[in-house]
Structure 1
Amino acid sequence: MAKIVASIPLRTELRDEVFAEAEQPVGDFTFNAKVADVFDDMVSRSVPFYEEIQRMVCELARDFAKPQTNLYDIGCSTATTLLSLDALVDPSVNFIGIDNAPDMLEKAGQKVQRSGARHNIDLQVGDLHQGIHLENASVVTMLLTLQFIRPLYRERVMKTIFSGLNDQGCLLLVEKVTSEDTMFNRLFIEHYYNYKRRNGYSEIEISKKREALENVLIPYRLEENMQLLKETGFSSVEVFFRWYNFCGIIAVK
C-alpha cells in the first residue's frame, strides 16, 4: 500500500497576523489576497489535527478514485489537498480544483507550478451560490467549505455534487459544527479557543476573527449535515473524524 506523504508543506513562511492589529476595523471575513498569503499557516493553526484530516481525506479519496474519472476539490483554497493526493491517485484521474476566490486560486497556481505535480491540476473559478457543473466524478472533496455557503443554497449544492458523482463515488466533507445542547456548545467552543491560544493566537485575534466570521461562517449541527446528505440520496453516510466542534463525514452514492 502506498505511503501517504504530503507533496508540499502545509505551512508557508508567512505567519497569519490578519487580525493582530487592535485598531483595525472588523468587516466580514473574505478570502482576499491578504488571507491567501497566510492561508496555509492560518488553517494549520486554526483547524485541530489539520494534517491528520488531510491524511485521512487522502486515504479515503484514494480508496474511491477510479481511473479515467474526475476528482474535484470544491473550495480548493491553495490546493493543499490536491497536491497531497498527487502521488497517491492514478495519473489518469483528472484533478479539478474549484474556488470562488481568485486570490486563493492564484496562490494555488503558484504552489502547483512549484510542486512538479504529475497530474494536470485544472484550477477553476466557481461560485457555489451561482451553481457549478460536475461530471464523471469518482471523488469530491469539500473541506471547510459548505459552512460558508448560505443555508438557502446548500441543498442545491448537494444535489449538484450527487448528480455529478458516478455510482459508488464518494463525497468527503469536513465541517465545523455546532451542538443543539447549549452546555456542550459552550464547552466545545471554549476548548477550541484554548487550542487557538496554544497555537499562538492572541485574545484580540481570536475575538476579531470570531466577529469577522459571525455572518459568514454558518455551521450546521452534525445531525443536520447527515440528514442533508441522506435526503440528497447518498446510500452510505458515516463520520470518519470528530474533534469537539469539527467533524469529517464520508458519503457514498
Structure 2
Amino acid sequence: MTDSPDRIYATPQAQVSDFAFNEDVVRVFPDMIKRSVPGYPTIVENLGVLAAQFAQPGSALYDLGCSLGAVTQAMRRHVRSEGCRVIGVDNSAAMVTRCHEYLHAQDSMFQELLPYELIEGDILALDFKPASVVALNFTLQFIEPERRLELLTRIRQSLLPGGALILSEKLRFEDEAEQALLTDLHIAFKRANGYSELEIAQKRSALENVMKPDSLQQHRERLLAAGFRQVTPWFQCLNFASLVALP
C-alpha cells in the first residue's frame, strides 16, 4: 500500500472548489497532513497515551472524523483496559474504505490490539454508546459552528465518570498581531515542507468556506457550556492545539 505526494493544488485552477475529503485527498492524505499540520505526529501518538489514562473496562473509545485511522490505531496500541472497543466514524466513504485497508495491514504488524469498528456516517447523527474516551482530532472545525455545542453536549452526555474528550483544532486568535504572526509562521512551516506559494494560496481558498476555526477561549466556553467541568490545553505547536476536557 503506497501513498502519493500531495500535488492537488500544484497547478493553477481557474476556480478553486471547496475542499472535500474525496478520492483525490484520500490518496495523498498522509503526506498532506504531515506537511500541513505542525505537531501532527506528536498529537496522534500521544492521543493513544492519553486515551490509556482515561479508558475504562468495557467502554467505547470514539475516534470521530477518523479519516485514515491514525488516532484509532494509536488508541488500539496503547489502551489495555479489558473489553474496550475503538469506534471510528467518518462521513467520507473513500476515507472509510482506505481506513479499513490501513487497519487491516496494522493487524499483521502488532499484537494485542484492541478490536475496532468503522462506521461511515454523520457524527451529528451518531447514536453514542457509553464511552470513556472520545477523540475529535481536527474534526470540529469542519462542523457548522451553530451545531458544535449540540455535538459536544451529546458527547458529554455519553461520557462515563472519569472519562475524557480530547479535542485537537486549528486555532484562531483574537489579537490581530498574534493571529498575523502565527499565520505567517504556519505558512513558513508549509514552505519548509515543500509547498509552493501557489499551493498554499489555492489550498487556503479551498478551505475558506468549509473550515471555521475557533479561538481557545471559544473552545473553552463552549466545552463548559456543554457540561464539561475542566478544560486543559496539553499541546500547542504554532496555531494548532489539543485540549483535554473532563466531565
> What TM-score, normalized by structure 2, do the two folds share?
0.94
Q: Is the partner of 1:178 in helix, strand or coil?
A: coil
Runs of at least 5 residues in structure 1 that lack an aligned partner in the other structure: 1-10
The residue type equivalent to 1:237 in the other structure is: V
Match among 114, 122, 126 for residue 119 of structure 1: 114
1:236 equivalent in structure 2: 230
For residues 106 and 50 of structure 2, what CA distance do their matches in structure 1 show?
A: 22
One of 25, 31, 41 as aligned partner of 1:35? 25
> In the TM superposition, what are the counterparts of 1:89-128 in structure 2 within 5 Å?
89-90=79-80, 92-116=83-107, 118-128=113-123
The correspondence of residues 161-172 of structure 1 with structure 2, limited to 5 A, is 161-172=155-166
Aligned length: 242
How far apart are the structure 1 equivalents of 2:87 and 2:209? 29
Q: Pick from 65, 68, 75: which aligns with 1:85?
A: 75
The answer to whether the 8 A contact 2:47-2:74 is kept is: no
* Contact 1:170 1:251 (8 Å CA) reproduced: yes
Q: Mean alpha-carbon deviation: is it higher for 212-221 or for 89-98?
A: 89-98
One-letter amino acid of the counterpart of residue 113, structure 1: H
Note the C-alpha offset of 1:111.
0.4
Alpha-carbon contact 1:79-1:97 (below 8 Å) kept: yes
Structure 1 Cα separation of the partners of residues 161 and 198 of structure 2: 48
- Quick one: which amino acid aligns to residue 93 of structure 1? C
Matches within 5 A, 1:68-217: 68-90=58-80, 92-116=83-107, 118-129=113-124, 131-217=125-211
Distance of 1:186 and 1:104 partners within structure 2: 33
Distance 1:84 1:173 in 2: 15
Could you tell me which residue of structure 2 aligns to residue 5 of structure 1? none
- In structure 2, the gaps of 5 or more residues are none
CA RMSD of the aligned region, Å? Answer: 1.5
Residues 50-108 of structure 1 show CA distances to partners (whole Å, capped at 9, x for unaligned) of 11111221111110011111000000000011112222112521110011111111110
Structure 1 segments, 4+ long, off by >3 Å, are none
- Residue of structure 2 in register with 1:8 after alignment: none
Quote the offset at 1:12 in angstroms: 5.4
